[in-house]
Amino acid sequence: MANPELVAKRANDGREVFETRTIDYIPEAERHGSLYSQFTLWLSANLQVTAIITGALAVVLGGDVFWSLIALLLGQLIGGTVMALHGAQGPQLGLPQMISSRVQFGVYGAAIPIVLVCVMYVGFSASGTLLAGQAAAQLLNVPETLGICAFAVLIVLLTLLGYRAIHFVGRIASVIGVAAFVFMFARLFAQHDIGALLNNRHFSIASFLLSMSLSASWQIAFGPYVADYSRYLPRSTSSMRTFLAVGLGSVIGAQAAMVFGVFAAALAGNAFAHHEVAYIVGLGASGGIAALLYFSIAFGKLTVTTLNAYGSFMSMATIVSAFRAKRAISTRHRLVYVIGMVGISTLVALAGRHAFLKEFTAFILFLLAFFTPWSAINLVDYYCFTRSRYDVPALSDPDGRYGRWNGKAILMYTLGVLVQMPFISTHFYTGPFVDALGGTDISWIIGLVVPGLVYYAVMRRAPRTYPARLVLPNAQE
């Protein structure tokens, strides 16, 4: 195994090209980065075409422009708060997000939500690869299949390079994204009567809740891996500032993209469906400017698709390491995991170019119900009980402090999943209470509130022993 001091020196000198850390603790000597980088990473991850299409759904599914914008913002703030609370854990723990679940669920028990997270992010990677591949094919005038495969190769390379490279690309993508959106908004306001769209108001509680659910679910979906990208920050980094940098970047980026989507869908009417990317670019320009917009779409998907691939790799490594009793992942295994996860998502993208991907996406959104309770349990445990007092060596010891399985937490997690079922509304599954709510999916609210309150009530009375402070591996700090 590499000498940690040598690895740290290489990292600090900037000569370490590939990231060597995976799910293991990041020593203080290797900590680096700034809150500005956190902001730009999450800004760029949200200034992208999928967020535009998500915002457009608020109008496509029956909402008006004015109330959809307000509902989307409210959902962003609620979901962004949950997401940023996870992100603030990174500098304090120096650990990727999902391995911290072993504190709540046990070393083996944490695999239950993580498996589902892996499936979900493979699906998100597939949809991102498909959209970016389509844009790349338009830009380069090559077959769509070639565009998808070329984009997948870039994702593999960037995921292997790891943390530093991902943040570097995020900074570039944020500049490109801001420039593209400023241009598209300027064209939109110059060529269309936006005031007339805003004056057409017909408030509906069902449409309002639906729009709020779209943006809140979008933000909450980042929860299982947001701390992966803040864990290298120095431990002295303010939790509040980390929360603000991560949350504001994500909320501002997503809201800007979704606002554009709302206006685009309202102007397009029936012409928007099945021609989303082409219509969005057409609103901006044609010819050479259109080519630049296609480039910005493909580059915008590069950041978030890499986040999905990196997150799925980290989650898979967390599962495997639990049963192999290892904390570190070798370079060879890292390569196998990354190629395997990106390869699966690419095959799904190729298979779903026409009709399958729509149904698969519905299935992926259905899986949101399975980690919303995880999010509630993790946040309540961290902020109400442990407060970063983790025993890091015990995270890899099935016979240690956290044990193999935490039956109480797993039971409460199961309860959190089950209470959502009547309120879920997707093409894959629709609960019995959805019609009474006008077709609105409020499962994410139930999935956060119920298991969070139950976990707090039960664990407040349960005899649990926490270390007095963060316990680190031997020979580290």
Output the pLDDT for position 9.
42
pLDDT tens by residue, 434-467: 888 777 788 899 999 999 999 999 988 877 778 8
Q: What is the 3-state secondary structure (H, E, C) of 123-188?
A: HHHHHHHHHHHHHHHHHHCCCHHHHHHHHHHHHHHHHHHCHHHHHHHHHHHHHHHHHHHHHHHHHH
Taking 80 as the threshold, does the pLDDT of residue 269 lie above it? no
| Predicted pLDDT at 8 | 39
Q: 19 is written with which tokens?
A: 């990231």
Identify which of 29, 21, 26 has the alpha carbon closest to the alpha carbon of residue 232.
26
Which stretch, 17-21, 138-142, 419-423, has highest mean pLDDT?
Answer: 419-423
pLDDT given for residue 7 in this prediction: 41
Average pLDDT over residues 198-225: 88
Indicate whether 233 pLDDT > 80. Answer: yes
Model confidence over 382-438: pLDDT tens digits? 999 998 899 999 988 888 899 999 999 999 999 999 999 999 887 778 889 888 877
d(CA 2, CA 68): 53
Burial label, 361 (beta-carbon count in 10 A; 0-12, 13-18, 19+): buried
Average pLDDT over residues 79-89: 96
Where does the pLDDT of residue 10 fall: very low under 50, low under 70, confident under 90, or very high at 90 and above?
Answer: very low
The continuous run of DSSP H or E covering 365 comes out as: helix 356-366
Q: Which residue segments constitute the domains of the chain, with CATH numbers given?
A: 34-368 (1.10.4160.10)
Highest mean pLDDT among 185-194, 313-322, 366-375, 449-458: 449-458
Beta bridge partners of 466: none
- Contact, 254 vs 116, CB < 8 A? no
Average pLDDT over residues 304-329: 81
* pLDDT attached to residue 49: 81
The more confident residue out of 184 and 108 is 108
Q: Please count the CA atoms within 13 angstroms of the CA of 384 that sit on its side-chain side.
A: 17
- Residue 265 is predicted with a pLDDT of 84
Min mean pLDDT across 183-197, 255-269, 276-290, 335-349 is at 276-290
Strand partners, 391: 471
Query: Which of 6-20, 25-39, 126-140 is modeled with the greatest confidence?
Result: 25-39
pLDDT of residue 360: 59
| pLDDT for residue 12 is more than 50 | no
273-292 tens-digit pLDDT:
555 666 676 665 666 777 77
Reduce the DSSP state of residue 102 to 3 states and report it. Answer: helix
Residue 134 reports pLDDT greater than 80: no
Q: How far is CA 304 from the centre of its chain?
A: 8
- In this predicted structure, the answer to whether residue 259 has a pLDDT above a threshold of 50 is yes
Residue 227 pLDDT > 60, yes or no?
A: yes
Q: What pLDDT score was predicted for residue 276?
A: 61
**Is pLDDT of 6 > 60?**
no
Question: At residue 354, does pLDDT exceed 70?
Answer: no
pLDDT of residue 278: 65
What pLDDT is recorded for position 316?
A: 84
Look at residue 39 in the predicted model and tell me its pLDDT: 96
